[in-house]
Amino acid sequence: MSNKDKILKYLSSVESATLEDICENIDATYFLNAKKYIGEICSRMVNSRRLIRPKKGTYKINPSYRKGCKPDTSNNPKLF
């Protein structure tokens, strides 16, 4: 499981969390400066609109990210 998936899984269990809470509760294997690297991951997830940053250092899941995602079945051939 990637660190992005771990962050999303943790944030789905809580409404919002600070960067320190995320660092403590996910199992990230960084030797030094885990807070910096997890902060960079969260920042990239904000830029890709997976997370929302209500204020500095606080993150929550964007509710509209998965809202319209459905698999496209119009191009799939029918076998029978």
pLDDT at 7: 92
**Using CA atoms, how far apart are residues 24 and 21, in angstroms rounded to an integer?**
5
Rounded to two decimals, the pTM is 0.76
**pLDDT at res. 27:** 86
Instruction: Enumerate the β-bridge partners of residue 29.
Output: none
Question: Which structure tokens are listed for 55?
Answer: 């204020």
Domain ranges for the chain: 3-61
The DSSP call for residue 8 is: H
Band of pLDDT at residue 61, cut at 50, 70 and 90: very high
> Could you report the per-residue pLDDT of 8-55, keeping only the tens digit for each?
999 999 999 999 999 999 988 888 898 999 999 999 999 999 999 999
The CATH architecture assigned to 3-61 reads Orthogonal Bundle (1.10)
